[in-house]
A and B are shown apart, each in its own frame.
Chain A
């Protein structure tokens, strides 16, 4: 029953699975993101308060959600790798970091693009924006720590530990930023009307969520192949895999 799970610890098997799954993820992502973008940008009605500017949420909200999801995956993969000494876990964590950082950056950039027409400024010290920015710093810290070591195995373990420490801290940072904001300026920032969202606006958004997850799966499979090949470059199976 657990053999499929144990097999995931073997680099050649993981390489094969990633190679097999990648096109499927990519195809499904193209369909869901395609539907989400077309329906969201052309068919969804404009918001009665925000007009067409609200449409940025179709990219912004899924990428903000992904930025935290990817961090969690990275920390969990690092934890599995540290505890059970599974080397593939380090490869997954290493593959996750740049993807997560890109999603975070995308969420920040789209957030400030939305902020210009809505708040009249590109940057406001809104709690969500601020904790998103700190999340970006955490990603940068993890990536620079990994690359700072000459011995890659040591860099992997150090980065995994830092990712776990950061994951424990993310809720604390988030709530303290929320608290700090209420301390200083109160709720001046109008939030997106969450509960009442029309179906024609909601379905494209849900489709974008699924699409972003699938896209993440595709990019992760791609990066994971590269990571595994690079890490196992001394072994015989890599030579065969590259020849064929």
Chain B
């Protein structure tokens, strides 16, 4: 029985989503982590709400990056542990298609959930509702880009014992442009100035990683899974 590339793509996405909804705690833990980290900042800094508002975009984005990284660790891990990943590489389908499907499926669950939760965190940090649209769109673009960078990192660190620390060490420097433009866009939306420049840059980064990162992630998997 032969399966076309598109069919394989949707099958892998479906499988990915089904698996995460069957283990909802895996989906919820990064979100709770996101909430906890954003709570830590006001407690640690003991700020007035007005001062907090100045720092809100940065705090929100740092927390979002960390929480996405936390869930990215599991992108290939369980499949590599139980041998599914080897079967997928041997399936005769292009490994790139499978990598794209897994990453998109992962983002559809974790990234979208983070975007949906972000207004709660935004309200707590004093971000005005008028900036929510920009904040959510920039987070959507940013988490998708981070998923691609993380797919490369997760592919490289499969099977390593201290893999998750190394994953952060590898991915966070590469993710700094996201933080700069994501927090920049949110910041500008709060002050009511034009967000177009930063948003275009985020979108460009997203397109850039969407086109090139799948090949890098495939190469990474070919190195680590054999």
Interface residues of A (CB under 8 A from B): 82, 134, 137-138, 140-141, 144-145, 148-149, 154, 157-158, 161-162, 164-166, 168-169, 172-173, 176-177, 179-180, 183
Indicate if the CB atoms of A165 and B173 lie closer than 8 Å. no
Within 8 A of A (CB), among B3-42: none
Distance, CA A138 to CA B180, complexed state (A):
18
Indicate if the CB atoms of A145 and B180 lie closer than 8 Å. no
Indicate if the CB atoms of A145 and B170 lie closer than 8 Å. yes
Select one of B176, B205, B220 contacting A134, CB under 8 A. Answer: B176
Indicate if the CB atoms of B157 and A141 lie closer than 8 Å. no
Indicate if the CB atoms of A157 and B181 lie closer than 8 Å. no
Distance, CA A98 to CA B170, complexed state (A):
16
Question: Which residue on chain A has the smallest CB distance to residue B160?
Answer: A148
Indicate if the CB atoms of A145 and B216 lie closer than 8 Å. no
Q: With A148-B157, A161-B156 known to touch, is A176 a contact of B169 (CB < 8 Å)?
A: no
- Residues on B with C-beta less than 8 A from A140 are 169
- Residues on A with C-beta less than 8 A from B220 are 158, 161
Distance, CA A137 to CA B184, complexed state (A):
23
Indicate if the CB atoms of A161 and B169 lie closer than 8 Å. no
- Residues on A with C-beta less than 8 A from B177 are 169, 172-173, 176
Indicate if the CB atoms of B224 and A158 lie closer than 8 Å. yes
Select one of A145, A172, A177 contacting B157, CB under 8 A. Answer: A145
- Residues on B with C-beta less than 8 A from A161 are 152, 156, 216, 219-220, 223
Indicate if the CB atoms of B205 and A141 lie closer than 8 Å. no
Determine if B132 is an interface residue (Cβ-Cβ < 8 Å).
Answer: no
Indicate if the CB atoms of B160 and A169 lie closer than 8 Å. no
Q: With A161-B156, A168-B212, A173-B173 known to touch, is A145 a contact of B224 (CB < 8 Å)?
A: no
Distance, CA A161 to CA B222, complexed state (A):
11
Extra contacts besides A140-B169, A172-B205, A176-B180 (6): CB < 8 Å: A134-B176, A144-B169, A158-B224, A165-B152, A173-B173, A176-B201
Q: With A161-B219, A168-B212 known to touch, is A148 a contact of B152 (CB < 8 Å)?
A: no
Interface of A is mostly: helix
- Residues on B with C-beta less than 8 A from A157 are 223
Distance, CA A145 to CA B224, complexed state (A):
12
- Residues on A with C-beta less than 8 A from B162 are 148
Question: How many whole Å from A25's CB to the nearest CB in chain B?
Answer: 31
Determine if B166 is an interface residue (Cβ-Cβ < 8 Å).
Answer: yes
- Residues on B with C-beta less than 8 A from A82 are 219
Distance, CA A213 to CA B170, complexed state (A):
28
Determine if B49 is an interface residue (Cβ-Cβ < 8 Å).
Answer: no
Distance, CA A183 to CA B201, complexed state (A):
14
Question: Which residue on chain A has the smallest CB distance to residue B158?
Answer: A158
Question: How many whole Å from A65's CB to the nearest CB in chain B?
Answer: 20
Question: How many whole Å from A1's CB to the nearest CB in chain B?
Answer: 32
Q: Mark B72-84, 1 if CB is under 8 A from A, else 0.
A: 0000000000000
Determine if B51 is an interface residue (Cβ-Cβ < 8 Å).
Answer: no
Interchain residue pairs with CB less than 8 A apart (13): A134-B176, A141-B169, A141-B173, A145-B156, A148-B162, A161-B216, A162-B152, A164-B216, A169-B174, A172-B177, A179-B181, A180-B184, A183-B184
